[in-house]
Amino acid sequence: MKAELLNHLIYRMDSGGMDELLRGAAEPTVLDSLRDRPARDLIKLINGSSGLKFHIEFCSNKFINELNRMDMMTGDTKVREYFVANGAPLEMITEMFRVTSAQVRDWRNMLIPGYEAKKLGGRTRMLPEKLRDALHQKWAALEKNSKLSLQDRVYAMHQQYPNYTIHELWITINEFTPRKNTDSVNSSFDLHVC
């Protein structure tokens, strides 16, 4: 373990990490002496009975915070991929996940086999009236739960109706919502509606 720590210290010094070591309260004379020593001296230092001790500080709060941040990023990626793979409208994805339309196109090509060949123009199909009524009731129930974000509500809705694309569900949910900009091609999506 001592050898690994010394090797890591030397590597950090040689790869531009000297400032970080100095900020961590390492004395410059000790670091210079360590870097200039031949390997045989370091081996003697490690294997000898000099009583050399290393102390490692482990900041559990920082560690947990970093793990939580990584989990959130992984979770966001999974949710974004779910929306892309299940036919969410381009405008919805760019707004919800703060990404560009070019990124969405790339993800669609990657996540949906044959996406370019499948692309169809035209309007999204209207779902049967009974189904539309059920969708409106389900959406109203989801909206009553103030703890759910728009993203969570759309996800929950698609989980209930996985045979339809998110776009089809979204168009149905908003079929009676007045559009703010009727001249816009992208007016079918408005995050402020809900």
Residues (pLDDT < 50) of the chain are 182-194
pLDDT of residue 192: 40
* Spatial CB neighbours of 56, under 8 Å, sequence gap ≥ 6: 5
pLDDT of residue 47: 75
Task: Identify whether 177 is part of a domain.
Answer: no
Task: Identify whether 104 is part of a domain.
Answer: no
Exposed e or buried b per residue across 77-98, where buried means at least 16 C-beta atoms within 10 angstroms of its C-beta: eebbeebbbbbbbebbbbbbbe
Task: Identify whether 8 is part of a domain.
Answer: yes
Task: Identify whether 189 is part of a domain.
Answer: no
Distance CA 60, CA 72 (A): 18
- The one-letter code for the residue type at 56 is I
Task: Identify whether 82 is part of a domain.
Answer: no
Compute the radius of gyration of the chain from its Cα atoms: 28
Task: Identify whether 172 is part of a domain.
Answer: no
Residue span of the structural domain in which 20 resides: 2-47
Helices (H) and strands (E) in the chain, counts: 11, 0
What are the tokens at 185? 């091609």
CB 149 within 8 A of CB 115: no
Distance CA 5, CA 92 (A): 49
Task: Identify whether 23 is part of a domain.
Answer: yes
pLDDT of residue 45: 72
Measured in whole angstroms, the distance separating CA 1 from the mean position of its chain's CA atoms is 35
- Its pTM stands at 0.57
pLDDT of residue 185: 40
What are the tokens at 194? 């809900």
- If one counts the domains in the chain, the total is 1
Task: Identify whether 11 is part of a domain.
Answer: yes
pLDDT of residue 187: 43
